[in-house]
Structure 1
């Protein structure tokens, strides 16, 4: 059973997302997406929007797993309690490092129905109003529980390697290596949910330019859960997708929640 902890509260691009409907994402943002073998892999756990936010300390009570893998080697990300940056480890070997983070459960109470509808529309949850009412839920004072499932890709030395499924409930797998592959036709990501591909799902892409400006576009996965994302040399990226579901009866009682969301995030950079 998961440990519960209440923390602080076809691929085609669609129009840029208005900032007023953006939700709060959670991601791992390396200080450098490519390092040498004798360097440290360092990065911030960040909560915010528009690919900018507050950096969080290393607090084990806030996560269920925080791991790193490279080739055949893997281990836990360890740090001092309260340390920042939260990610600060020596590379396991030369090559692509896949770092995964799974949070404990956090909760959010909706006091305004319009905010829940706005969030649901932005994250592409169809017929949510009818589903909510059919469940007999109130339109204010109801609680959402949410989990964060975040990954980042860091290249060490030659950066050779492949991303893979790390076992998160929802996760992106990069089908191309952003540090070694030809990305002139875009970078492909595949979205998984409970070990199955998630087709026809909305994917939100946050593109950060070298000067820090961010552009946000919406994309979709095809029937195989794959979305090909346009990327540019010298830019960094956050890829986001969310599942909204009715919690199990056990979790609903244990955590006192009416809705459950699972957030997938993947970050990477593209070399110049």
Structure 2
């Protein structure tokens, strides 16, 4: 028993460690699988499409499901499973949509400058002034964060469409990158609590076949939508973050004063 707990310790530490400004995403082993094959993917945490592989732990998961052809199946791997996803693919063509929402985690900002850097990076233009106006501490304050990840995988031809899944925040793919008539423009809608997010920053991580990664910034329109050009043979992470004051904060010296909700979408273009 002691040995098994010791072997799990690195995964627990990796999943619980503070990771401010780090993306979390679902990375399939293969984005296209044959009918009757296996859907396999890892949880990843890191930067610029490079990161640590994380194990699944049920106490760290709020929502984990597979949606194909309108049918939703809740997923429950064993604690410590890596890869976090390994399930039989459907027996017909489908766009397989994997979603995962994490339980809340907390980090501490020991330096005001780090919060300012994060706020600038994610384009929270009033965060610093709002923080100061609230009279919150400028050092040693806490943030609570959750991850809301989605991945699109093709089974067979990949026929199908994405839709809102009810996550707190998410990307909804308005294009199917695996469709035969895909035009190279990935259209997505960004949602927060079911409502569209106009003028939201979308950070795009574009990984070429050789592994080179480029990062670009985009913004949603008044309908919360954006069309982003993508390239055949590349894989992508789309990232969008919500920052909001923590509603249950009672003591700003002890409780989280901010909450962040991170939406991520991964897919590849054949």
Q: Which residue of 1 aligns with 2:8?
A: none
In the alignment, the residues of structure 2 paired with residue 101 and residue 245 of structure 1 have an alpha-carbon distance, to the nearest angstrom, of: 21
Cα deviation, residue 128, structure 1: 1.6
Mapping for residues 143-158 of structure 1, pairs under 5 Å: 143-158=142-157
Q: Which residue of 1 aligns with 2:246?
A: 247
Mapping for residues 200-219 of structure 1, pairs under 5 Å: 200-219=199-218
Q: Which residue of 2 aligns with 1:68?
A: 66
Cα deviation, residue 39, structure 1: 1.2
Q: Which residue of 2 aligns with 1:264?
A: 263
Deviation readout 1:55-101 (Å, 9 max, x if unpaired)? 00111111111100101322112322211111111123421011100
Q: Which residue of 1 aligns with 2:16?
A: 7
| Matched-pair contact (CA < 8 Å) for 2:243–2:260 | yes
| Matched-pair contact (CA < 8 Å) for 2:240–2:264 | yes
In the alignment, the residues of structure 2 paired with residue 193 and residue 207 of structure 1 have an alpha-carbon distance, to the nearest angstrom, of: 24
| Matched-pair contact (CA < 8 Å) for 1:44–1:56 | yes
In the alignment, the residues of structure 1 paired with residue 181 and residue 116 of structure 2 have an alpha-carbon distance, to the nearest angstrom, of: 40
Query: Counterpart of 2:211 in 1: which secondary structure?
Result: coil
Cα deviation, residue 181, structure 1: 4.9
Of 38, 42, 48 in structure 1, the residue corresponding to residue 46 of structure 2 is 48
- RMSD of aligned residue pairs (Cα, Å): 1.7
Cα deviation, residue 250, structure 1: 6.2
Residue 46 and residue 186 in structure 1: after superposition, are their counterparts in 2 closer, same or farther (change >3 A)? same
Q: Which residue of 1 aligns with 2:9?
A: none
Give TM-score scaled by structure 2 length.
0.90
Residue 33 and residue 251 in structure 1: after superposition, are their counterparts in 2 closer, same or farther (change >3 A)? farther
Mapping for residues 165-244 of structure 1, pairs under 5 Å: 165-244=164-243
In the alignment, the residues of structure 1 paired with residue 205 and residue 87 of structure 2 have an alpha-carbon distance, to the nearest angstrom, of: 26
In the alignment, the residues of structure 2 paired with residue 166 and residue 251 of structure 1 have an alpha-carbon distance, to the nearest angstrom, of: 32
| Matched-pair contact (CA < 8 Å) for 1:78–1:89 | no
Query: Counterpart of 1:84 in 2: which secondary structure?
Result: coil
Q: Which residue of 1 aligns with 2:84?
A: 86
Cα deviation, residue 185, structure 1: 4.8
Unaligned runs of 5+ residues in structure 1 are: 1-5, 10-21
In the alignment, the residues of structure 1 paired with residue 17 and residue 76 of structure 2 have an alpha-carbon distance, to the nearest angstrom, of: 22
In the alignment, is residue 25 of structure 1 matched against residue 23 of structure 2? yes
| Matched-pair contact (CA < 8 Å) for 1:203–1:218 | yes
Residue 251 and residue 90 in structure 1: after superposition, are their counterparts in 2 closer, same or farther (change >3 A)? farther
| Matched-pair contact (CA < 8 Å) for 2:249–2:256 | no
| Matched-pair contact (CA < 8 Å) for 2:108–2:142 | yes
Residue 157 and residue 82 in structure 1: after superposition, are their counterparts in 2 closer, same or farther (change >3 A)? same
In the alignment, is residue 137 of structure 1 matched against residue 146 of structure 2? no
Unaligned runs of 5+ residues in structure 2 are: 1-14
| Matched-pair contact (CA < 8 Å) for 1:69–1:92 | no
Q: Which residue of 2 aligns with 1:13?
A: none
| Matched-pair contact (CA < 8 Å) for 2:187–2:227 | yes
Question: Comparing both chains, which one has the higher relative contact order based on Cα–Cα distances under 8 Å and sequence gaps of 6 or more?
Answer: 1
Runs of 4+ in 1 over 4 A off after TM superposition: 250-253
